[in-house]
Structures are given as C-alpha cells and as structure tokens.
C-alpha cells in the first residue's frame, strides 16, 4: 500500500511539473505567446525561430510555421498558421537581417502586442491590438529614437488625454485687397497668429486664436495715399468629433468670430461679430507627415439673417512631426468678406496668407 501510494504521489508530481514547467521557465506557454519580448528577449535557451516554432505548436498542435524568403534566400517572414490562416506568433525581417516586426495573430487578425522596427534597428512603434484593431497603449518613435507620439487606442480610435492643452504660433505673409465705396486698399503684410486648443473631455474640443497685421511691406490706398490699415481677428469655437479613425479626424465646430480694421482717420473700415460654422479635418499620412484643412462660414447678423452677407475662409496645412507633440506647419489660408455698412455701402475683402508655424 505504501509503495502504491508513493508511486501515485510521484506520478502526480511529474504531471504537475510537466504542466507548469514551461511557465516556471519564464515563458507563458500555458496561455500562448503573443508577446514579442517572449520571442526575442526571453531567456529560454532557443533562437527566435525555435521559440516561434514552440509557441506556434502551443497554440495548436496542428499549427505550422509558414516561411518566406527574399530572392537571395534570406529569411523574410515566419508566420504561425493553421490551414493558411495566420494564427499565433509571427516574425518579419528586413533584407539586412534586422527584425522588422513581431507580434501575433488570432484567427487571421492581429492580436496582442505588436512591435515594429526601422531597418537600422530603432524601434518604430509599439501598439496593443485586439482582434484586428488597435486597443490599448501605443508609442511611436522616429528613426533616431525620439518619441513622436504616445497615447491610447480604444476600439481602433485614438484617445485624447483629459485636460490636454495644445498651442501653435505662426507667422504669415498676407496679400489682400479691400474695397468700400470709392476706397480701395491693397497691401502685403506680416501677420502673426496664436492658437490655443483645449480638450477637457473625450468628445469636446475648445479652441481660440487671435491674429493681426503687425507690419505692411507694401501698401497702396486710394484716394488717400498716406492711409494705413491694420486687420485683426479673434475666434472662439467649440466642437465635437464627427468621424474618427486611427489616421483621420473630422471635427464639427461652431462659435463666434470678431474681426475689424484700424484705419488712419477712421476714413473707412468695419468692426463686426459673426456666428461661424467651422468643420475641420486632420489626416495622418504616416508617422511624420499629416495634412489639415478647414472651412469657415460666418454669416452676418445685423437685424436680419442674410446668408449673402458673410465671411468665408478655407485653409490647408502640411504638418511634420519632429518629436512628441511638436510639429512644424506650412499653411495656406484664403478668405473673402462680403457685407455692407449700416448705411448699406458695400464692403468686400479678399486675403491670401502663406505661413509657417510651430505647434506644441
């Protein structure tokens, strides 16, 4: 009886050791491996390919590694698959032998921690995926290892941090024409602009900007040649995202727009407050480059609501990330004003501004 009991006890210990051994070795074989660090960095005594093969079989005994090679027979990829469907860990390599990406699939969809590298070995991005879409923390680096962006995805959409402030400053050269009755003013001027964005909640976006003429490189006024003019404007807007994907964000905003002119001797000019509708688009082309655009429509409200009297504006910009939350901006803005004075004198103005800016 004692011998049988000892044998039974030893058998149970052996079964427990066989089951727990891999886990105690530091690799999560009991639960499947979809962590790049387990394949590339785990101290398990195997080369990455051997680890990959072991993890692949752990997902399912029927799984196998599918291998692809470059024309010169260097290994290009090793993917764990079942019936030609990716299911389990994978590795991709550059032609120079450096690791390109590492992660896992689940039923043909990316699932788990996915890491990619540049060809020089610097980490490119680190993102958590769940069944084919990013869903968790992410970090993005440039080729020199500096952080370009970090945050979190939820159900495939990037989340913006609570109480997130963003600022931008720009300096533009503006060319424009203003007419009012017999008065005409043409100028090329230097126009700075300061913009503030505040996102207190996930679906609320507040912004404000102020701009104004600080110097006229050239000007021509009729009929009084010695006339000087300075334009200024102040915007307040609130909006909410209408459409978002990991690379695209469409924002619908509305607010109030104050604008006016300072003219020598008050010979002409205007001051007005307008309601405005302001849809905007942000699109990330890749980790470094992005495009932004907006359209503004601000109808004049002076006693009555007249859509024909308005100010419209259109803007496009190219954004280049240089480090986390810091961007260089090249912008083009076009605007047009059509309205009348209180005496029903027609006013029209057209402006084109080319600017450079810095956002942080």
**Where does the chain hold its CATH 2.40.128.100 domain(s)?**
165-359
DSSP 97: S
Q: If pLDDT is split at 50, 70 and 90, which confidence band does 38 have?
A: low
Give the pLDDT band of residue 32 (cuts 50, 70, 90). very low
Question: At 33, is the pLDDT very low, low, confident or very high (cuts 50, 70, 90)?
Answer: very low
Residue 265, pLDDT above cutoff 50: yes
The pLDDT, as a whole number, for residue 18 is 37
Pick from 61, 58, 16: nearest CA to 35: 58
Report pLDDT digits (tens) over 15-25.
333 333 333 33
Q: Could you tell me which residue, 197 or 339, shows the higher pLDDT?
A: 197
pLDDT band at 292, cuts 50/70/90? very high
Alpha-carbon dihedral of residues 75, 79, 82, 86, nearest 10 degrees?
A: -140
CA distance 179 to 199: 39
Report pLDDT for 273.
83
Task: Tell me which residue of 283, 288, 292 sits closest to 317, measured CA to CA.
Answer: 292
From CA 38, how far away is CA 32, in angstroms rounded? 10
| Residue the block writes with tokens 């992660």 | 103
Coil, strand or helix at 134: strand
Nearest by Cα to 260 from 271, 268, 251, 245: 271
Q: How far apart are the first and last CA of the chain?
A: 78
- Whether the pLDDT of residue 163 is over 90: the answer is no
Structure confidence at residue 227 (pLDDT): 82
Percent with pLDDT over 70 in the chain: 80
pLDDT at 243: 85
Q: Which helix (H) or strand (E) holds 223?
A: none
Query: What's phi and psi for 9, nearest 5 deg?
Result: -65, -40
Residue 55 has pLDDT above 50, yes or no: yes
Range scoring the smallest mean pLDDT among 36-50, 101-115, 118-132 = 36-50
Class of domain 165-359: mainly beta
Angle, CA 285 vertex, CA 283 and CA 290 arms, to 5°: 60
Which residues of the chain are in CATH 3.90.930.1 domains? 36-158
Residues 68 and 86 sit within 8 Å (Cβ to Cβ): no
Relative to beta strand 215-222, strand 183-201 is antiparallel
- Residue whose structure tokens are 């764990």: 80
Residues sharing a CB contact under 8 Å with residue 256, sequence separation 6 or more, in sequence order:
235, 236, 273, 274, 275, 276
**pLDDT over 50 at 3, yes or no:** no
Overall CATH class of domain 36-158: alpha beta
CA 287 to chain centre: 8
């Amino acid at each position: 009886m004692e011998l049988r009991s000892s044998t039974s006890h030893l058998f149970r210990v052996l079964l427990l050791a066989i089951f727990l051994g891999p886990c105690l070795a530091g690799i999560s074989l009991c639960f499947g491996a979809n962590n790049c660090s387990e394949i590339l960095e785990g101290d398990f005594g195997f080369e990455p390919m051997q680890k990959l093969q072991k993890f692949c079989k752990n997902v399912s005994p029927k799984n196998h590694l599918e291998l692809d090679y470059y024309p010169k027979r260097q290994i290009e990829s090793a993917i764990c698959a079942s019936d030609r469907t990716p299911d389990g860990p994978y590795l991709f390599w550059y032609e120079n032998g450096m690791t390109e990406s590492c992660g896992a699939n689940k039923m043909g969809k990316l699932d788990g921690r996915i890491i990619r590298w540049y060809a020089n070995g610097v980490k490119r991005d680190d993102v958590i995926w769940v069944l084919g879409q990013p869903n968790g923390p992410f970090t993005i680096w440039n080729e020199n290892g500096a952080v370009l962006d970090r945050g979190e995805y939820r159900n495939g959409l990037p989340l913006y941090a609570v109480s997130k402030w963003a600022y931008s400053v720009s300096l533009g050269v503006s060319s424009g024409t203003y007419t009012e009755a017999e008065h005409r003013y043409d100028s090329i001027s230097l126009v700075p602009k300061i913009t503030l964005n505040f996102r207190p909640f996930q679906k609320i976006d507040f912004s404000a900007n102020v701009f104004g003429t600080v110097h006229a490189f050239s000007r021509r006024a009729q009929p009084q040649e010695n006339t000087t003019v300075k334009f200024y404007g102040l915007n307040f807007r609130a909006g909410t995202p209408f459409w978002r994907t990991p690379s695209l964000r469409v924002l619908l905003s509305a607010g109030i727009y104050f604008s006016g002119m300072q003219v020598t001797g008050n010979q002409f000019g205007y001051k007005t407050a307008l309601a405005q509708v302001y849809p905007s688009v942000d699109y990330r082309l890749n980790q470094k480059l992005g495009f932004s655009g907006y359209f503004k429509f601000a109808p004049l409200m002076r006693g009555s609501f007249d859509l024909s009297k308005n100010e419209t504006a259109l803007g496009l910009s190219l954004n280049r990330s240089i480090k986390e939350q810091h961007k260089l901006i090249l912008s083009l803005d076009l605007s047009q004003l059509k309205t009348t004075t209180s005496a029903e004198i027609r006013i029209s103005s057209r402006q084109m501004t080319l600017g450079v800016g810095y956002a942080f």
